[in-house]
Amino acid sequence: MVDVTVCGAGIFGLSVAYACLRRGAQVQIVDPNGVGAGASGGIVGALAPHTPENWNPKKDFQFDSLIMAEDYWAGVERLSALPTGYARLGRLQPIADDHTLTLARDRATSAKRLWQGQADWRVVPASDHAGWAPQSPTGWLIHDTLSARIHPRQATTALAQAIAALGGHITHRATLAGQIVWATGYDGLLELSRDLGTPVGNGVKGQAALLGFEARKQPQLFADALHIVPHHDGTVAIGSTSERDFDDPTSIDTQLDDVIARAMDSFPMLADAPVIERWAGIRPRAKSRAPMLGGYPGKPDQFIANGGFKIGFGMAPKVGEVMADLILDARDTIPEGFRVEDNF
């Protein structure tokens, strides 16, 4: 007996399956390419919040999910006996000028209210993080304590093992049965656009690099539109490009060379670190830029969980819960702006 079939073993598909299993459902996951074969098999893993201002349902949803993450991934590690690479070590960002410094201090005040005392947005001297601080023209940094890191490949592997420990079945091919969830990433967005006769999303290519550099206890860094994420295994990820137009989804080219050069310039401590891997993949971006969640239009007992784009891992704990609410209990807790219909 199968209550729920999840098509797609990326982070959204796995998180939905995990939430349904924890509520007692019988679940199978079907993916011809295996676990984390698409964008969820990347190397960056920056779980970073939006700025604490102009609050809206998307920011509120993301905040809740980031707060859930520590217990969520600890539970996955207990069930799977595998590492996920999760650690909430915060993030540092340079402050470029006096105007940005004033803005950062204003946001520190708003964070106290919007983040409900569960995390801080601080303005600190760069000297507080000597040896790891990004170059800052003002000598000041933003240090938020809500940002966290995860190792995407290890996290999806561990989550798949946790699903198996709960009795879930992951397979390359199976008869679809029960309620069906389509969590099929970039290809799924294209198929949905064809099915509905209107574009509801597309893919954005990202290229990233992995360096051999020991900084596992350090916060992640963000400057010049780059994420620098130290992992627990003695590597540091740099990412990434954002390419709307591309011919080959997995090709590596000079755009990544530029990313690496910019990283070395902004973060001189990485200048001699060897590049041990280069990666490219397509991230699914819904038209609304928010995750696309809800029922499949015109198809009863079928659902969609897609559009994680750059924030899929950060959103995953709560995406799983709201989709389980809908699939198992017919209870719609999906926030404004996240619905499939919001992309028409």
Token pair belonging to 1: 């007996």
Other Cβ atoms less than 10 A from the Cβ of 139: the count is 12
Encode pLDDT of 146-203 as tens digits.
Answer: 999 999 999 999 999 999 999 999 999 999 999 999 999 999 999 999 999 999 999 9
CA distances from 205 to 55, 83, 242, 309, 321 (A): 28, 27, 6, 10, 28
The whole-number pLDDT of residue 113 equals 96
pTM above 0.85, yes or no: yes
Encode pLDDT of 110-156 as tens digits.
Answer: 999 999 999 999 999 999 999 999 899 999 999 999 999 999 999 99
For the chain, what is the largest distance between any 2 Cα atoms, rounded to a whole number of angstroms? 63
Token match 């198996």: residue? 164
pLDDT-derived band of residue 266, with 50, 70 and 90 as boundaries? Answer: confident
Instruction: Round to the nearest angstrom and report the end-to-end CA distance of the chain.
Output: 35
The whole-number pLDDT of residue 125 equals 98
Encode pLDDT of 202-245 as tens digits.
Answer: 999 999 999 999 999 999 999 989 999 999 999 999 999 999 99
> In whole numbers, what is the pLDDT of the chain averaged over residues?
96
Quote the CA–CA distance of 174 and 170 in Å, as a whole number.
9
The whole-number pLDDT of residue 297 equals 96
Q: What is the enclosing helix (H) or strand (E) of 256?
A: helix 254-266
Encode pLDDT of 72-107 as tens digits.
Answer: 999 999 999 999 999 999 999 999 999 999 999 999
Q: What domains does the chain contain, in order, with CATH numbers?
A: 4-89+147-200+287-343 (3.50.50.60)
